[in-house]
């Protein structure tokens, strides 16, 4: 069974792309995906990453003042 | 003769670094899509190009948060956004007497409409603005001070950091027009007390035309100049408040921004401080050549350390437009004559009516000492001496 994923959603494309880059720099596997409609309509792009790393992701985004509109665990 | 000597870099820089042409071409052919709209791979690739440009600009200006870098089609729109987005009815605003019309006209209009009171602070004959005189003009209702960091007519560099100390202390916003300084002299927003920095992407930053932007300080809140599609928060019919989208309605200039990003990478590799030293050498050579031409009057500081590579002059008994036309037609040297969209600056140095402006030679990093010497020789020939 694959590891469970989480999704971060954003208010702007800038924030989504910046988050992707920050995760890359931190060697965290992150992938931009079309934002699932049931989660948010704020920005077309969302960032998917392993749920086990949620705390680290939160910490990195906070440290770089990248605002999220939500963070969700995917089923 | 088909040799061209381009001395009009203050209008827009030419040529650009080779990488800029390649980046524009690459974007047009291989990326093409609109950044920030769709979620497909090309739209994401376009978005990454814009992100890179924004992050490079943030680094260049000493700004930590790249979402505060708003991209516009030119410096004029950035200045209009800063001015009209910050001023409210009953406010007082101060600017220098060497401002470009892209500052002067929005301010004059707001004053004429009775929205704001405007004080234009006279500069010295060299175009220098005194921080002490600015301070004396401040009132309890002063909201904004606007200063052109380097004059597009005289090259004069203003003491922006000193003015920033005064405005910070009084809680007044400082808007800097960096059209002529960005890429030409190092700029550090937080260290200089600058709240708003408007820049052209196509002058000293060496990007394509159709690029520019406004850096908005962390605590500064502006009204938007225009509203529209941002590709974000599309369920709402009201403008989103998140930066940069709040101020970037409409499709961005992808190819232009790609070129600007390549230009910024080139600037980073060269180093703005190193380029500034090189331009100072060229300016010193240019001033030297002009001093050796009989009948030439040079305006501004006439000191490479106090100015950018922009030099205005007149020739006794000769019409400025005719001088520029002859330089072009006979010698292939491209300068700009007239008022340079800055009538108030020409009033300051006394060339508004008396001579109908000046001839302006403005250099860029691709000009050479040989070109400057050739220019001097041509002017000596023109002077008939
Ligand atoms: C001092 C100054 N401010 C503003 C501008 C306007 O810049 P842009 O042409 O990018 O709108 C210019 C150049 O035209 C300028 O020299």
Cβ neighbours of residue B241 closer than 8 Å, sequence gap 6 or more: none
Q: For the segment B161-176, what is each residue's pLDDT rounded down to a tens digit?
A: 999 999 999 999 999 9
Nearest to B358, CA basis, from B319, B325, B327, B385: B319
- Mean pLDDT (chain B) is 96
Ranges for all domains in chain B classified under CATH 3.40.640.10: 18-270
CB within 8 Å of B29: residues ≥ 6 apart: none
Query: Is the per-residue pLDDT at B385 higher than 80?
Result: no
Using pLDDT thresholds of 50, 70 and 90, give the confidence band for residue B326.
very high
pLDDT for B180: 98
B264-294 CB burial, b ≥16 within 10 A, e <16: bbbbeeeebeebbeebbebbbbbbebbeebe
Q: Which of B66-70, B233-237, B266-270 has the lowest mean pLDDT?
A: B233-237
B244 shares contact with chain A (CB less than 8 Å): yes
- pLDDT tens digits, B185-210: 999 999 999 999 999 999 999 999 99
pLDDT at B191: 96
Tell which phi-psi region holds residue B326, choosing left (phi > 0), alpha (psi between -120 and 50) or beta.
alpha
B102 lines ligand 1 (CB under 6 A): yes
Tens digit of pLDDT for each residue in A1-56?
568 999 999 999 999 999 999 999 999 999 999 999 888 888 889 999 999 999 99
Residue length of chain A = 75
User: In the prediction, which pLDDT does A1 show?
Assistant: 54
Number of structural domains found in chain A: 1
Residue among B71, B75, B95, B101 to mutate when testing ligand 1 (max atoms within 8 A of CB)? B75
Q: In angstroms, rounded to a whole number, what is the distance separating the alpha carbons of residues B101 and B111?
A: 14
CA of A58 to nearest chain B CA: how many angstroms apart?
A: 17
Q: What is the CATH number of domain B18-270?
A: 3.40.640.10
Q: Is residue B309 over pLDDT 70?
A: yes
Touching check for B86 and chain A: CB below 8 Å? no
CATH (residue range B5-16+271-383): 3.90.1150.10
Report whether B53 contacts A13 (CB < 8 A): no
What's the mean pLDDT in B245-266?
98
Residues B100 and B76 sit within 8 Å (Cβ to Cβ): no
- Comparing A75 with B103, the larger pLDDT belongs to B103
Where do you find CATH 3.90.1150.10 in chain B? 5-16+271-383
Confidence at residue B1, expressed as pLDDT on a 0 to 100 scale:
44
Residue B69 bridge partners (DSSP): B215
Q: State CA A13 to chain mean position distance.
A: 12
For residue B377, give both structure tokens.
Answer: 């020789």
Section B16-21 average pLDDT:
98
| Cα–Cα distances in angstroms (integers) from residue B339 to residues A3, B107, B158, B355, in the given order | 67, 19, 20, 10
ipTM for this model: 0.92
Cβ atoms < 10 Å from Cβ of B345: 32
Percent of chain B exceeding pLDDT 70 equals 99
For residue B250, the CA-to-ligand 1 centroid distance in Å is 22
Q: What is the CATH number of the domain that holds A19?
A: 3.30.70
Q: Give the Cα separation of B203 and B267 in Å (integer).
A: 12
Lowest mean pLDDT among A31-40, B72-81, B96-105: A31-40
- Least CB-CB distance to B234: which of A33, A41, A67? A41
Domain extent, residue A10, equals 5-74
- For the segment B63-72, what is each residue's pLDDT rounded down to a tens digit? 999 999 999 9
User: Which protein residue's CA is at the shortest distance from atom 12 of ligand 1?
Assistant: B179
At residue B341, does pLDDT exceed 60?
A: yes
pLDDT at B36: 85
Q: Is B235 helix (H, G, I), strand (E, B) or coil?
A: coil
Instruction: Report, in angstroms and rounded to the nearest whole number, the Rg of chain A calculated over CA atoms.
Output: 11
Atom 15 (ligand 1): residue with closest C-alpha?
B179
Contact B39 A18 (CB under 8 A): no
Which residues, listed in sequence order, are joined to residue B197 by a DSSP beta bridge? B176, B215
Q: Which of A13, A33, A34 sits opposite B232 (nearest CB)?
A: A13
Element (H, E) at B57: helix B41-60
Pick among A14, A42, A61 to test the B interface (most B CBs inside 10 A): A14
Long-range contacts of A26-29 (CB under 8 A, 24+ apart): A26/A56, A26/A60, A28/A53, A28/A56, A28/A57, A28/A60
Task: Give the mean pLDDT of B327-331.
Answer: 97
């Amino acid at each position: 069974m694959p590891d469970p994923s989480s999704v971060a959603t954003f208010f702007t494309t800038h924030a989504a792309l910046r988050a992707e880059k920050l995760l890359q720099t931190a060697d965290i596997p992150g992938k931009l995906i079309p934002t699932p409609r049931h989660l948010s309509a704020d920005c077309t792009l969302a960032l998917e990453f392993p749920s086990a790393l949620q705390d680290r992701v939160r910490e990195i985004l906070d440290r770089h003042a990248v605002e999220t509109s939500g963070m969700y665990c995917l089923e | 003769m088909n040799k061209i000597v381009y001395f009009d870099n203050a209008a827009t820089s030419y040529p650009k670094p080779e990488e800029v042409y390649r980046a524009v071409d690459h974007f047009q052919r291989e990326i093409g899509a609109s950044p920030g709209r769709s979620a497909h791979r090309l739209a994401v690739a376009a978005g990454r190009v814009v992100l890179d440009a924004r992050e490079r600009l943030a680094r260049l200006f000493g700004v930590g948060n790249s979402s505060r870098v708003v991209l516009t089609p030119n410096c004029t729109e950035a200045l209009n956004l800063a001015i009209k987005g910050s001023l409210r009815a009953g406010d007082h605003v101060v600017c220098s007497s060497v401002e470009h019309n892209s500052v002067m006209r929005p301010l004059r209009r707001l004053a004429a409409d009775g929205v704001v009171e405007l004080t234009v602070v006279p500069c010295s004959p060299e175009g220098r603005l005194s921080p002490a005189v600015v301070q004396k003009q401040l009132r309890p209702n002063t909201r904004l001070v606007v200063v052109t960091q380097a004059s597009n007519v005289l090259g004069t560099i203003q003491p922006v950091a000193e003015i920033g100390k005064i405005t910070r202390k009084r809680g007044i916003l400082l808007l800097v027009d960096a059209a002529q300084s960005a890429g030409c002299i190092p700029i550090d927003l937080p260290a200089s007390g600058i709240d708003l920095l408007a820049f052209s992407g196509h002058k000293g930053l060496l990007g394509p035309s159709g690029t520019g932007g406004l850096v908005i300080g962390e605590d500064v809140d502006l009204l938007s100049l225009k509203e529209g599609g941002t590709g974000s928060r599309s369920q709402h019919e009201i403008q989103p408040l998140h930066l940069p989208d709040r101020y970037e309605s409409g499709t961005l200039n992808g190819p232009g921004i790609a070129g600007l990003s390549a230009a910024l990478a080139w600037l980073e590799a060269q180093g703005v401080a190193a380029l500034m030293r090189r331009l100072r050498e060229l300016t010193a050579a240019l001033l030297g050549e002009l001093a050796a031409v009989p009948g030439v009057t040079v305006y501004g500081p006439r000191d490479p350390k106090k100015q950018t590579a922009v030099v205005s002059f007149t020739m006794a008994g000769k019409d400025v437009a005719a001088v520029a036309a002859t330089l072009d037609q006979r010698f292939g040297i491209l300068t700009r004559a007239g008022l340079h969209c800055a009538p108030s600056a020409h009033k300051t140095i006394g060339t508004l009516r008396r001579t109908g402006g000046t001839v302006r030679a403005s250099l860029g990093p691709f000009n050479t000492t040989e070109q400057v010497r050739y220019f001097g020789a041509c002017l000596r020939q023109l002077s008939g001496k």
